Each structure stands twice: as structure tokens, then as C-alpha cells.
Amino acid sequence: MSTELQFIVNAGGVLSGDLRVPGDKSISHRSIMLGALAEGVTHIHGFLEGEDALATLQAFRAMGVEINGPTAGEVTIQGVGMRGLRAPGQALDLGNSGTSMRLLSGLLAGQGFPVTLLGDASLSKRPMGRVVRPLQQMGADIETTGAGTAPLVMKPVRQLSGIQYVMPVASAQVKSCLLLAGLYAEGETRVTEPAPTRDHTERMLQTFGYPVTRSGEQCGVQGGGRLIACDLDVPADISSAAFFLVGASIAEGSALLLRHVGVNPTRCGVINILRLMGADIDLLHAREAGGEPVADLRVRSAPLRGIHIPHDQIPLAIDEFPVLFVAAACAEGETVLTGAEELRVKESDRIQVMADGLAALGIEVRTTQDGIVIQGGQLQAGEVDSHGDHRIAMAFAIAALRAQGPIRIRDCANVNTSFPDFAAFAKRSGLAIEAAHA
């Protein structure tokens, strides 16, 4: 008997209320990693209790770190210091979490013990050569499959060496991987990125007292330092807020207040792009929490128009494109995205899977190798397959706000990787959604 989780979302609805979406996934991962390596006790508030962040937490427990929680977003970590991790008794299974695998490959490359990193079927297809190659330049001993994918088999080395690395593709995960490896390298590790990417690692290292040098498109660390425990307040995740920013924009009569959302300038592409399309979004009560800028976001419905998405916004919105494609489907005119080939190697090929789903719902779309062209139109009722991609499942749930009939979304269990209880949360805000096993 099949137990596939599906979302069935009835057409129409209005989003309203005062909401706080779950904690930021990127920051939750990093809070566990740095808290574990710090000296002293780190207290985390607002931790995301999704499967991806929990995979990171379990990995550090397996390496001998005492972690209490999470309980209602509260986590306490007894730091073991930079050299206090122990070899795990078995391979570390990181589930669906690409962030866990790529960042841990850097952090563990210089630890001095053997470790193997595994993932689920989806993660085992994602490219790891982009982190393995520069780590090998630093002296790491890492093996992948012949296809450059997980499992990653890591053997101890005497010492890593700092490198100057120019990234061929903008990727916060590659940058973070190398900076974390650089903590254990002799000399300086410096990374040059071709376009700005999220800088949560650099900010959090400094919050834990570890110096980071930044100059233009370069950032670097000197090996051999210390991390000092601290208290961290994890902002609400802008990637999760994005579904409600789009939903309230496209559903006439909607008005939402989204509380305590992280508005790091390296993550604000979704706001910038929606505003270019005509969205009515205000940032209120801007402040700082745990080294990160946060604000309350007020969004009201507004007519959207198609645009050519600026290239400089792509790395700043790389995780939000599935729901931005829904906004494009509801906009007047044509939306064009180019230069986004990175979307083809996410949890799914997000260009193709979104194009197939939008086409099944009656929207005119055309894909290119590095992008998509979407003609705004009328969404119809229909069935779509998320291909196990959490962000695609949630994006099509939001699409029902402007559909002419119900939308059934298949293969939705992985929504729990980033947004536990999404269906119940969205229902409270006005989405006519039910989760069912079929």
C-alpha cells in the first residue's frame, strides 16, 4: 500500500494575518557546526526543526557533541573546541541536505579521523566535485563516485594548506566549505566569488569571535584560531517567507505581516524581483539579530507584470525561483530568466520540473539550458509532480490561489526538510490546503 504524501489545494482564497515562518535553514545549519566547535556553551533560539537541519545536528551528536533540544526552537550545545570532535562509529547519513554534505566536507577535511558522508537518493545525484576539487588542492584526501557524487569517503591527512581559490560559479556552499576547511589549514584561505552569495558563514564566524577578512568579492580566514560560544537568535527564513510573499501578492484582497524575517542583502533577491514585478512589500522595524539583519515584512496584493529578471539578482534568489515562477505565471506579460543553470542541479532540475508543472496547469512556458520563459496566463486545475522537491511542492500549493480549480501535488514528504507542518501553517493563513496519504 502506497503512503505517498500529497497536497490537495482548492482554488482561490485570501491570505491574511500576522505570521512567523520557521527559522532560517542556512543559519540553523551553521549554528550547530560552529557551536559544536566553540569553547563553552552556545544557546540557539529559533532553530529550524526541519529534517535538513536535524541531519546536521545528528551528525555532530555522532561525533561526540552533547546537544540538548531542539525544544520549541531552543537548542543548547556543549562546545568541544576546534579539536574536540571524535570519529563517528559509522557513516554520517545527511539525508536530503546538500548544505550539510558540502559544508561538513570542508569542516571534516582537516579533522584527522576518517569519515564517510552519505545521503538519500536525491542527494546522491547532486554534484560534489565543486567542493571536492578545491579541498583536494588544500591537501584533503577525499574520494567520490566516478560521477563526482556521494558518498564522500574522507581519510585523515597531516595538515591542510590554505589556498587562494577563484570560484568558477557563484555558490555560498562552496565558499562556506572552503572557509570552514581554512579554519584547519596552515596559512590563509581566500575565496573569490564571481557574484555575491549569501554570507551567513562569514557573519557567524565573526559572531563566534573568529576573524574574517573581506574585501570586495574576496573573503578569507587564517587557520589556527578559536571559536567562542555565544547566544544566537535565528531569524525566520526568507526562503520560507517567499511562498507567502508571492501568495499574498497574487491573491486579491490579501494582506500579511511576516515577523522577524532575515533580510540579509545577499538573500533579498526575492523581494527585489517581486518589487520589480510590481509587488507591494514594505520592510518594517529593521534591526539586527545574531549578526544578521531582520525586519517585519508587510505584503499586500498587487497586480504583477512580467520582467526580464536581472542577472545580478539570480544568486540572491537562487532558492526562491520555484515560487517566483508561480508569480510569473500570474503576471501580465512575459517573464524571462537566463543565466540560472544552477537551478538544474538543486533537489530536482527546478527549471524542467517547474516548466512541466506549469504546462500541466495551462501556462505557456519554454525552457532553455540556463533559464525559462513564462507567459502569464490563467492557471487551470490539474495534477503536478514535485519530484520530491520541497520548494516545488510548496510553490504549486501557492499557485492554487489563482487557479480555476483544485491542484493536486504529488510526492510532498520532503517539505519537512525545510518547513515542518507547512500545510497546517498555510491553512491558518487562508490557503485551502489538505495533506493526504495516497
Of 24, 120, 237, 319, the active-site residue reads 319
Cis peptide before 70 (omega within 30 of 0): yes
| Residue 141 annotated in active site | no
Active-site positions read 319
